[in-house]
Amino acid sequence: MSEFDLIVIGSGPGGYRAAVLAKLRGLSVAIIEKADWGGCCLNRGCVPKKDWHHTAHLVAASKNYAKRGIHGNLTADITIAWRHQKDTVQVVRDSYLDYMKRLGIASFKGTGSFVDAHKISIDGQTTLHGKHIVIATGSSAYIPDVFPIVPDKILTTDNLFDSVPPRGRRVAVIGSGVIGTEFAFILAMLGKRITWITQSKPLSKSSYSKPALKLLSNAMERHKIVPHTGSRTKSVDLTGPGVTLNLDDGSEINVDWVLLGTGRIPHTEGLNLASAGVTTDTKGFVKVNEYLQSDIPHIYAIGDVANHHMSANHALADAAVVVSNILSPQSRKQQNKAVPQLVYSALELGIIGISEDEAEDEGLEAGVGFASFEGNPRALGQDEQEGFVRLIADMDSGALLGAEVIGSEAGELIHLIAQQFGQEDALNRFASTFYNHPARAEEILNATETLAAKWGLSEQVFGK
């Protein structure tokens, strides 16, 4: 029986990061994957979706090309776009596997399941013994009972990227969360005629501010993407050449195919958790404490299988926390609020920390520093001046409580804030940084200086 300091079950962003980081810290590591190396993020989530989003962004931006002296209409071919993301995924996967091999991480293909709290069986043929075990098995698409999964007619994001998308142009996107909001835009820009069906307003359950959601709504409307809100699919008719959706308001929608963006559920099937003494909550998430330990202290769970935020960003952060705790028990707590959250749609939306309302709930008095991209030279030069930077600070201590970046390149800019998040002198660091000009990042400085000018935080921003 092979023995390891750490066995990781699942090779998505969390599992991969935990394996690599543990190996770099001197532990012997094995990683087990039953399906595609890289998990959902690499093969069916973050990576191919970002590839498609860039294509969608180029098509959307082309509407302003004429005033720059660039003439002609850009259209997208979704079949070629599908091939492009496949090529991207393959390059990343090859690099991923090569790096694990060079590090000396033992990789095993098959379904891992617990024999007991230290032993993992792979397809009932190979047994590994681990001093520590990390469950990183991710999640799978939630499929409402009314929807049967039918090839080329009703798809989830778990199978959208497996083969060339269906040929039909009329597409219904179901869901008001991040997945639905992103794919309604992406597929529209890739040439599909979108009917977007949502029970609630898009992203209404998120922490994004009302101004942010209003800007996103306006941007979607300019591309003629308007949600059919307050609607639930009552039944589905597949007898014709396409799909007929019968809604609970009595209306009927006819499309060629449907994409479900109805959320995700943690994936624990086949793990045989009971044999290890590991339990799940009522929603199926592995129960963990603030150090990401399960009921059994040497068994940890990270990412979608345990973290209700269910994002690759949180899985990566969880991995770092777990490896720290394996090396030095209970030395590092999970910090979900310190992890950036992003949406890639008609606008990019980034957020970190807490909102003003959440600050008030915690008994804090919050000040807001605001800076718009409307007058930013770089944004104007790109014809992408929609959006802003908002910094939320504690009026008493000057501590940075949260931030929001809306607009082009928000997914990159949020990292400049994330690097300082949690530092007592974060505002002073923003104010003391030297910036490139012209740059979108300068609005972080402007938002910081607004806190000094408007809220009397000059000492916290500029120092004594």
Mean pLDDT of 423-433: 95
pLDDT band of 368, cuts 50, 70, 90? very high
| Bridge partners of residue 140, in order along the sequence | 265
State the CB neighbour count (10 A cutoff) for residue 158: 18
User: What's the fold here for domain 154-262?
Assistant: FAD/NAD(P)-binding domain (3.50.50)
Question: What's the Cα-to-Cα distance from 67 to each of 72, 383, 452, 464, rounded to whole Å?
Answer: 12, 10, 39, 48
User: With 90 as the cut, is the pLDDT of residue 169 above it?
Assistant: yes
Tokens of 101: 């091999």
Tokens of 36: 């595609």
DSSP states of 145-174 as a string? Answer: TT---BTTTEEEHHHHTTSPPPS-SEEEEE
Contact indicator for 306, 285 with CB cutoff of 8 Å = yes
pLDDT band of 238, cuts 50, 70, 90? very high
Q: Give backbone dihedrals phi and psi of 93, rounded to 5 degrees, phi first.
A: -65, -40
Rg, Å, the chain Cα set? 23
CATH number for the segment(s) 2-141+265-337: 3.50.50.60
Domain ranges of the chain: 2-141+265-337, 154-262, 347-457
DSSP states of 63-124 as a string? Answer: GG-GGGT--S-----HHHHHHHHHHHHHHHHHHHHHHHHHHT-EEEES-EEESSSSEEEETT
User: With 80 as the cut, is the pLDDT of residue 141 above it?
Assistant: yes
Strand ranges (E), 10-47: 29-33
Say if residue 175 carries a ligand binding annotation: yes
Say if residue 124 carries a ligand binding annotation: no
Sign of the torsion angle spanned by Cα atoms 380, 384, 388, 389: negative
- 3-state SS, residue 180: helix
Query: In CATH terms, are 154-262 and 347-457 the same topology?
Result: no
| Bridge partners of residue 367, in order along the sequence | 393
pLDDT tens per residue across span 356-367 = 999 999 999 999
Say if residue 110 carries a ligand binding annotation: no
Nearest by Cα to 373 from 448, 431, 433, 444: 444
Contact indicator for 101, 67 with CB cutoff of 8 Å = no
CATH 3.30.390.30 fits 347-457, yes or no: yes
pLDDT tens per residue across span 5-15 = 999 999 999 99
Say how far apart CA 305 and CA 424 lie, in whole Å. Answer: 33
Say if residue 204 carries a ligand binding annotation: no
User: With 90 as the cut, is the pLDDT of residue 464 above it?
Assistant: no
pLDDT of residue 365: 93
Say how far apart CA 36 and CA 162 lie, in whole Å. Answer: 11
Tokens of 396: 């008493």
Say how far apart CA 129 and CA 131 lie, in whole Å. Answer: 7
Residue 50's region, left for phi above 0, alpha for psi from -120 to 50, else beta, is alpha
User: With 90 as the cut, is the pLDDT of residue 72 above it?
Assistant: no
Supply the mean pLDDT for the chain: 96
Active site residue 437: yes
Say if residue 398 carries a ligand binding annotation: no
pLDDT cut 90: percent of the chain above it: 97
71-77 long-range Cβ contacts below 8 angstroms, 24+ apart: 75/191, 76/189, 76/190, 76/191, 77/191
Count, residues in the chain: 464
Contact indicator for 366, 394 with CB cutoff of 8 Å = yes
Say if residue 225 carries a ligand binding annotation: no
When mean pLDDT is compared across 100-104, 115-119, 204-208, 321-325, the lowest value belongs to 204-208
Mean pLDDT of 277-292: 98
Mean pLDDT of 87-108: 97
Say if residue 137 carries a ligand binding annotation: yes
User: With 80 as the cut, is the pLDDT of residue 155 above it?
Assistant: yes
| Bridge partners of residue 392, in order along the sequence | 368, 402
Nearest by Cα to 163 from 241, 51, 267, 85: 85
User: With 90 as the cut, is the pLDDT of residue 73 above it?
Assistant: no
Say if residue 182 carries a ligand binding annotation: yes
pLDDT of residue 74: 87
Say if residue 145 carries a ligand binding annotation: no
Say if residue 179 carries a ligand binding annotation: yes
Nearest by Cα to 285 from 375, 295, 276, 275: 295
Tokens of 406: 């809306």
Nearest by Cα to 398 from 440, 446, 430: 430
User: With 90 as the cut, is the pLDDT of residue 221 above it?
Assistant: yes
pLDDT of residue 1: 67
162-172: buried (b, 16+ CB within 10 Å) or exposed (e) per residue?
Answer: eeebbebebbb
User: Cα 116 to chain center, whole Å?
Assistant: 33
Nearest by Cα to 155 from 173, 131, 170, 136: 173
Say if residue 139 carries a ligand binding annotation: yes
Say how far apart CA 321 and CA 323 lie, in whole Å. Answer: 6
User: Cα 52 to chain center, whole Å?
Assistant: 15
Residues 6 or more apart whose CB falls under 8 angstroms from that of 308 comprise 283, 285
Catalytically annotated residue among 118, 298, 309, 437 = 437
